[in-house]
Structure 1
Amino acid sequence: MKVERVGVYDALNAAANGFAVLPADARTGEPLLDISKASSDPEVIRAWWDQYPGAEPACIPPKAKELKATPYVWRDPADMPRREFLYGTHLIRKFASAKFAAGGVGKSALALAEAIALATGRALLGVAPAKRCKVWYWNGEDPQEETDRRVAAICLHFGIDGTMLEGWLWTDSGRDQEIIIATQNPKSGTSIAIPMVKSLVDTILDNEIDVVIIDPFVSSHRVTENDNGAMDMVAKKWTAIAGETNTAIELIHHTKKTGGADATVEDGRGAVAVLNAVRSAQVLNKMSEADAAKSGVANHRSYFSVDNGKINLGPPPEGKDWYQIVPVSLGNGPSVAPAGDSVGVVTRWKWPDPLDGISGSDFEAAAVEIGRGRWRESNQATDWVGRPIAKALRLDLDSKPDRAKVNGLVKIWIGQGSLVVVEDQDEKRMTRKYVQVAA
């Protein structure tokens, strides 16, 4: 019967974190070998535990590095290297960035579309990459074939020859190839998986990768998310990897439940260490029904906004960056269903401007119609001022986009002073707000 090698895994873990190890008597704690033989070589350690299967590890901590304060030397600002932004102001070499969103909003679809924009050097979503970049996209949850479907759908939608991505895009699945850079043990605490980090760094350098996307961040570690110290260690290790490899690293992170309210970057699941460690943090939110009514879209679930920073300090809905998820057929079905798989692809979407296509003569026509009656400010009233405006501009108030446009025009023209709000009594002698053309 094979004897279980008690303690070998603790010994290997200690060695991975820089400790020199010796097998020790499990009862007395005395080393079974001379202390001069202490080693961090995994093969040596395994051989020792083959010889002493019941041993416990005796660990010698690594010698602390000697600290030296660096004297400041003036550098001419004109000679300083510029920050190397690769995609807008979100991705920058030697730093980690993050996307925060609840499940199903579109963060993976957006990250992969941006990856292909970087790999092709094309402004697929309205942002021109600083240069064509080599990108490694790692998805820790989905199988490889699902990522392949998404890449194919993006290429079909944007008219990209998929062979253009060869040598520029790398994609991997955590189901086939895990990337776990940290683990947590109830006894020894959190530790960085040094061999994995080294392999990760070597892979990035060997392939000259510019951008690494980890989707999702939670799949890259095995530590408790509510442990701020542990999460700080993991997040800062990703930042250190970015610095060591001269890459931009993006961490895709889930948010906690917000009870229906818009998420902020501070709602990242678990501790706030991830937010503190990254240079740029975006937050994604689904379009609300209220915003759908303002914009006139039919299916608000297909739209989401992206903000950099706290949502309560961000711009109003019409000032945010908006995206739409459109279905793309892969055409991989049988003859009876030629459409095949449908995959959602992220596209840039512009918030409608009510003034698009509106001229001064259009306002004059609307003013004439408004002057023919008495019209309420409230869009819930049967005599709403939007009705004569819609009539003059030949817009259909039963159409969501048209109704949203009229709503917007009313607000703009009141704000500009072209229309004025006055109080008057209705037929029941109730005070109401009415809209008139400015004198």
Structure 2
Amino acid sequence: MKQAAAYLYDALNAAANGYLVLPANARTGEPLVETDKATTDPEVIRAWWTEHPDAQPACMAPKPKKLKATPYAWQDPAQIPQRQFLYGRHLARKFTAAKFAAGGVGKSILALTEAIALATGRALLGITPAQRCKVWYWNGEDPKEETERRIAAICLHYSIAKEELEGWLFIDSGREQEIVIAQTTKNGAVIVGPVVRGMVDTIADNEIDVVIIDPFVSSHRIVESDNPAMDLVAKRWNAIADETNSAVELVHHIRKTGGAEATVEDGRGASSLLNAVRSAQVLNKMTPEEGTKAGVGNHREYFKAENGKANNSPPAEGKDWYRIIPISLGNGSALAPQGDSVGVVVKWKWPDPLDGVSGADFEAAAQSIRAGRWRENPQAKDWVGWPIAKVLGLDLHGNKADKAKVTGLIKIWIGAGNLIVVDELDEKRMTRKYVQVANDD
């Protein structure tokens, strides 16, 4: 019985890939129907295998399509339809996008929060969706109830009522419903036509605008280092997006980078996925050095996202930053009174040292600097940051954010020429770098 089901599956898969199929005797290979009746119609094929359950599929290659060059027809530029972006410049109809990150950075909770932003039409993370969208989020690894926990935490934090999501958000788990659109066979990588057809039909039937596949690796059974095979999979996702007029996002893991900051080129496996997508974001945890610069308490709570297909990477201050905060679901019991705590992503802004600082504040700091002799080195007891902090009422003893603000102000004022660094001898006749107010004698 299992063998018969396998034969039918192979027949349908071949038909989905354009091969004309008919049933054949498993022992002799003789066709069981007239060869001119070979077809790609799945209903006819199923009827044949109901009548001949032990038949093997016999396949005939489709006739190659006749190629022809299409003459260019001039179009008024003003009449060419705009790209239909749905979320920032990352998700657009008829295109596939990707998120690249290591495990534990926050890619899944970010993707799910963006899904809810799209479904509600709300700017949860600072980006207002172009329109309210129906979103299908499929997680190939976690049970459905884990996704439901994350959704509940997001809704609690952002005060989202059930009416805002019902009919707009669709969620499924690979543990209950696999989506495998390609697999490796003895003849190489092939697209699983029935699954693709089912995807297209489901997206169309539910009028889905955005499909999120998390993670990408769960949607195929292809060797990731096989570039041609991965190209086949990536382009089929593009074809699904194109046929359904939807935006597809593929969430993908990266390989180990040895502690170095990840780029989209670090996406696990072949480069075909990166080449096929229109937009590729890469996520990285905040480094300890960035945490010190930003003055945060625990740098592990923060991560950044940037478009990895852009040529120039902005400095840390210019990237999109997020923080993961714990939210209690309030589902405690007698055995576990605290209940579940689930991380939720919130937008976080890199601190601007100039926030709340006026020209009068600089003049007061300059006056304080003039009253002494101050070093550039923040480790020195006579660091120039001390008179600045005193004037501004900032705490350098135990407040990391205040120290980061003062450090940033010194850098900005030196860069603007308000302060200058000079070499002078200290009391031990050692050359040191001191900070002075510009234009002072």
TM-score, structure 2 as length reference: 0.93
| Equivalent residue number for residue 199 of structure 2 | 200
- Residues 45 and 222 of structure 1, relative CA distance in 2, 3 Å threshold: farther
- Residues 375 and 412 of structure 1, relative CA distance in 2, 3 Å threshold: same
- Residues 3 and 433 of structure 1, relative CA distance in 2, 3 Å threshold: closer
- Report how many residues are paired: 434
| Equivalent residue number for residue 210 of structure 1 | 209
Q: Which stretches in structure 1 are left out of the alignment for 5+ residues?
A: none
> Do structure 1's residue 437 and structure 2's residue 437 form an aligned pair?
yes
The separation in 2 between residues aligned to 1:148 and 1:357, in whole angstroms, is: 41
Letter in 2 for 1:138: W
Letter in 2 for 1:244: E
| Equivalent residue number for residue 49 of structure 2 | 46
Letter in 2 for 1:43: R
Q: Any residues of structure 2 matched to 1:316-355 within 5 Å, and which?
A: 316-334=315-333, 339-355=338-354
The separation in 2 between residues aligned to 1:38 and 1:30, in whole angstroms, is: 13
> Do structure 1's residue 65 and structure 2's residue 65 form an aligned pair?
yes
Bigger Cα displacement from structure 2, 125-134 vs 304-313: 304-313
User: Where do 4+ consecutive residues of structure 1 move more than 6 Å?
Assistant: 25-28
SS at match of 1:118: helix
What displacement does 1:27 show? 7.5
What displacement does 1:51 show? 4.6
- Residues 231 and 96 of structure 1, relative CA distance in 2, 3 Å threshold: same
Letter in 1 for 2:155: C
Q: Which stretches in structure 2 are left out of the alignment for 5+ residues?
A: none
Contact 2:12 2:193 in 1 (8 A): no
The separation in 1 between residues aligned to 2:188 and 2:227, in whole angstroms, is: 13
The separation in 1 between residues aligned to 2:202 and 2:161, in whole angstroms, is: 26
Bigger Cα displacement from structure 2, 419-428 vs 11-20: 11-20
- Residues 199 and 429 of structure 1, relative CA distance in 2, 3 Å threshold: same
- Residues 4 and 262 of structure 1, relative CA distance in 2, 3 Å threshold: closer
TM-score, structure 1 as length reference: 0.93
Q: Percent identity?
A: 68
Q: Any residues of structure 2 matched to 1:342-381 within 5 Å, and which?
A: 342-381=341-380
Letter in 1 for 2:66: E
Contact 1:183 1:223 in 2 (8 A): yes
| Equivalent residue number for residue 178 of structure 2 | 178
The separation in 2 between residues aligned to 1:128 and 1:338, in whole angstroms, is: 38
| Equivalent residue number for residue 105 of structure 1 | 105
Contact 2:12 2:194 in 1 (8 A): no
The separation in 1 between residues aligned to 2:380 and 2:267, in whole angstroms, is: 42
SS at match of 1:226: coil
1:165-220: per-residue Cα shift (whole Å, max 9, x none)? 011111111111111111111x2111111111111111111111111111111111
Contact 2:23 2:49 in 1 (8 A): no
Letter in 2 for 1:145: E
What displacement does 1:16 show? 3.5
| Equivalent residue number for residue 386 of structure 2 | 387
The separation in 2 between residues aligned to 1:336 and 1:27, in whole angstroms, is: 62
Q: Any residues of structure 2 matched to 1:16-415 within 5 Å, and which?
A: 16-23=16-23, 31=31, 34-40=34-40, 41=42, 42-44=45-47, 46-47=49-50, 50-52=53-55, 57-185=57-185, 187-309=186-308, 313-334=312-333, 339-397=338-396, 398-415=398-415
The separation in 2 between residues aligned to 1:323 and 1:91, in whole angstroms, is: 19
When the two chains are superposed, the root-mean-square deviation of aligned CA atoms in Å is 2.1
SS at match of 2:257: coil
Contact 1:97 1:281 in 2 (8 A): yes
Letter in 2 for 1:46: W
1:314-334: per-residue Cα shift (whole Å, max 9, x none)? 100001110111111110112
The separation in 1 between residues aligned to 2:310 and 2:6, in whole angstroms, is: 49
SS at match of 2:154: helix
- Residues 61 and 45 of structure 1, relative CA distance in 2, 3 Å threshold: farther
What displacement does 1:310 show? 5.2
The separation in 2 between residues aligned to 1:118 and 1:425, in whole angstroms, is: 61
